A and B are shown apart, each in its own frame.
Chain A
Amino acid sequence: MQQIINFLIKYKNTLLFLFLFLLSVIFTIQSHSYHKSKFISSANFFTGGIYSWVNDVDMYFNLREYNERLVDENKTLRENLAALTEVELDSVFTDTTSYNDPYQFITAKVIANRYSKRDNFLLVNKGKADSVATDYGVITSRGIVGIVDETSQNYARVISILNTNSAINVKLKKSDHFGTLTWNGKDPNRVQVEEIPRLAPVKKGDTIHTDGRSLIFPKGIPVGIIEDFHLKSNQNYYEIDVRLFNDMTNVGYVYLIKNNNQEEIKNLDSNE
């Protein structure tokens, strides 16, 4: 017994070092797996509070651009509205059930945005108190941003599409071939689409948008345009480089998307 205590006292520095080092490595490993990084998160009142306080000042420098984006979005929406009233107003039949849309939108402000690491997260200023929950989609008027990963009372952490753990279902606009959106960690303006089969008509400049089957994003949220593509060696799948519509280095305001049917479809799926 005496020897054990002597041993502990003699090596207390090394033991403390090994213990804390191991702890950090465990945190690191957890952060590399999707949906498991629960301990270390900036979505708490302390860090969230500091970020939102600083962001209040920072926001003023970008006001001009955010206003321009809003005007752009309004223009697109107005065009859609005009097209709708001209062509379809007579033929659209609305009854009370169709008011219950599957998707609900919540607006939020990004208070911390990171894009220089290999696994990036954003922090937004809406949380449980605004009925935000895990697995809500996050988009801007220009395209997709990521998926809500964790929430606290007033803040939510978003897994950016610039995260090596993120994998989102996308498809070609022209045809119904679908693939997975991933990121190789290099350029914050370019992401990769994998698993699009060789048969698909892929061309430079084609648009990629979300596929409705993921239960997180509605169908047709724009992602980007194809910049480069090649066949994977010995495989029947394309590897496609996509230039994002969104400038991920400057995300101001975002929409969080709630899919009201998510639970129902998930339950149905798990009954198999």
Chain B
Amino acid sequence: MNKFLISNIARFIILALLQVLILSNINFLGYINPYLYVFFILLLPLNLTQYKTIFFSFLIGLTIDIFEDTGGIHAAASVLIAYLRPNFLRFSFGISYEHQTVKFHQTPFAQRFTYISLLVLIHHLMLFSLEIFDLSYIVLILKKTLFSSLFTILLILIVTGLFKQNKK
């Protein structure tokens, strides 16, 4: 349990700093940024109690908000996917998730990919809707959601690939 705690705290700090110091300044083609800190929420232990998941997600979202002066948009989006996470876990990993036997790194690629991309898409949609806060800009919201999601998903897949190799 202690090992879990330490690795999650370390992941929190590393991902938050990486996000605000490097990734939020990429601005590829003017506005496309990956939001890799979502990975922290995806990787929270799958059997963690639901209210803790929600609370920790709020915490990392708020941290990013404070750094980036964005009000509460990251917190809102993070809380939303934390709340929806069990549904998507069940949807992507099926019955094995119910038996609490899933290890994130050992799941089949297709299932893992569905899980990652669905949550990232929802997170980004909420994020950009709140950031732009104006329904007349719906095209811009969808454009930003699509491109940033692609970037984030790609980055998450690369990172999972890297860490898998390290463990061998």
Contacts and interface: CB of A to CB of B under 8 A. Distances in A.
Contacts of B137: 185
B40 interface: no
Contacts of B30: 116, 187-188
Interface stretch (B4-12, B60-68, B117-125): B60-68
B83 A37 contact: no
A29 B133 CA distance: 9
Interface in B73-121: 73, 75-76, 79-80, 82-83
B65 A40 contact: yes
> B interface, by DSSP: helix, strand, loop or mixed?
helix
Nearest to A44: B66
Interface string A64-89: 00000000000000000000000000
Interface of B: 17, 21, 24, 27, 30-31, 33, 50-51, 54-55, 58, 61-62, 65-73, 75-76, 79-80, 82-83, 130-133, 137
B79 A28 contact: no
A241 B62 CA distance: 36
A28 B66 contact: no
Contacts, number: 103
B51 A25 contact: no
Contact of A31 (B24, B31, B61, B70): B70
Contacts of B27: 115-116
A40 B69 contact: yes
Given A21-B76, A118-B132, A41 B66 contact: yes
Please provide the 5 A-B residue pairs with the shortest distance between their CB atoms, ordered closest to farther: A31-B71, A27-B72, A24-B72, A24-B76, A24-B75
A28 B133 contact: yes
A32 interface: yes
B48 to A, nearest CB: 12
Contact of A28 (B17, B51, B55, B73): B73
Contacts of B61: 24
Contacts of A152: none
Contact of B68 (A17, A28, A30, A114): A114
Contacts of A243: none
Contacts of A123: 69
A17 B79 contact: yes
A13 B133 contact: no
A117 interface: yes
B83 A17 contact: yes
A152 to B, nearest CB: 12
